[in-house]
Structure 1
Amino acid sequence: MSGKITLHYFNGRGKMESIRWLLTVAEVEFDEIYLTTREQYEQLLSDDDLLFQQVPLVEIDGMKLVQTKAIFNYIAEKYNLHGKDPKDRVMINMYSEGLMDLMEMIMILPFVSDTKPKLDNIQKKANERYLPVFEKALAGPVYLVGGKLSCADVLLMECTLMLEEKFTGILADFPNIKSFQGRMTRIPAISRFLQPGSKRKPQPDEIYSKTVLEVFKMTSLPLP
């Protein structure tokens, strides 16, 4: 299984979208197999492909990898997007995990009946806890760590676009982040990824959330 990378997930963003972003920036081709039925999920379980009975699942370099952060870090390391030394890598990981925490708050929205309290909480935390960190980090540097593009930059781009979908103008008080976005969009791979028809997924809809719940035989997802 050392050919093209294969992603196993739903036809939607969720926890796989950051992996799609990272592979795209690394300019690596990948295939996708979409989970649409309970039977597909049970087959993965039967084949012992899901170490902890969870997706995402990524087939790469003859391995079947699960756990989003492990997959993400492996790809970042493989394609030189994880810093030059341990000090760079720990900073990249801190930034990345903070961004993943924020994005996970957005990911659960399709499974919440009353989204307003969640949205209010996301907006407050974004403005007070998360965005100021990155605004300060980008006061001068082109990239977050070591003057070089890393997976943390890719996540920041993805996350800020997600925030702008929910909160128009949220970056008005964060000019360094806005400038960073502009620089990132000039990277050819990202520019292509942002165009219609790319492998970037749209905002989740009812079909996505319904499919997830049906595959997992749940009426709602457990929320953090």
Structure 2
Amino acid sequence: MAERPVLYYFNGRGKMESIRWLLTVAEVEFDEVLLVTREQYVKLLNDGALMFQQVPLVEIDGMKLIQTKAILNYIAEKYNLHGKDPKDRVMINMYSEGLMDLMEMIIMVPFSPDPKPKLDNIQSKAKERYLPVYEKALTGPVYLVGGKLSLADVLLVECTLMLEEKFPAILKDFSNIKSFQGRMIQIPAINRFLQPGSKRKPQPDEKYLKNVMEVFWQAGNMTY
């Protein structure tokens, strides 16, 4: 039996959360090593586990993978969530990277001393730049690309739920996306992930922010 993937990150969302989502949808059990001290981070550095001195770090199939996009693409390829051919894959990647750009803006908000301007910017860009793309893509199709579930679909449902946490009515003018979200959360693996007690992480709180700052600011590195 293959060993379970091991995820090295904080006890919070950050850039690891999309990886948790994708493994969950692929129905892959995983373990987590939660970084709570600077010493853990330094040990990973000294062991040569962090190619660019960054987390997320995922141990899988005998490899130590960093860089969120690379990790997501590997998992998507391994578990048939990356399309049937290169044309599907490039569309999946374009949709996915747009969603990751938007989610990264949300991830960074708690670290801002004045979050309101950032939130206003996110809401504006989401409604004017990002959501219209997915609304159009979902006019008819059940999934974004190739008629089957992919990485892009997983990221879209994650992103829409994050947006609704900040802006509860943001999807009111995007009925295709809202219908898509409703379908996706009925998938058994996703439904379980959204229940209390799952490995899904809550929105960042002061404890999470303090943890990140203690590890990374002291280490001169603020990559989440």
| 1:181-221 CA distance string (max 9 Å, x none) | 11101100000000000000000001111100100135998
| Equivalent in the alignment of 1:195 | 195
Q: Which runs of 5+ in 1 are unaligned?
A: none
| 1:1-51 CA distance string (max 9 Å, x none) | x51110000000000000000000000000000000000000000100000
Secondary structure of 2:122's partner?
Answer: helix
- Contact 1:16 / 1:56 at 8 angstroms: preserved in 2? yes
| 1:73-117 CA distance string (max 9 Å, x none) | 000000000000000000000000000000000000110010000
Q: In structure 2, give the amino acid aligned to 1:114.
A: D
Structure 1 residues 40 and 222: CA distance shift in structure 2, 3 A: closer
Equivalents in 2 of 1:222, 1:74: separation in Å? 25
Structure 1 residues 169 and 150: CA distance shift in structure 2, 3 A: same
| Equivalent in the alignment of 1:172 | 172
Secondary structure of 1:216's partner?
Answer: helix
Q: Which runs of 5+ in 2 are unaligned?
A: none
- Contact 2:38 / 2:219 at 8 angstroms: preserved in 1? no
Q: In structure 2, give the amino acid aligned to 1:104.
A: E
Equivalents in 2 of 1:219, 1:28: separation in Å? 32
Q: In structure 1, give the amino acid aligned to 2:135.
A: E
| Equivalent in the alignment of 1:3 | 3
Structure 1 residues 222 and 29: CA distance shift in structure 2, 3 A: closer
**TM-score relative to the length of structure 2:** 0.97
Aligned pair count?
222
Structure 1 residues 125 and 149: CA distance shift in structure 2, 3 A: same
| Equivalent in the alignment of 1:110 | 110
Give the fraction of aligned pairs with identical amino acids, expressed as a percent: 79
Runs of 4+ in 1 over 4 A off after TM superposition: 218-223
Aligned-pair Cα RMSD in Å: 1.4
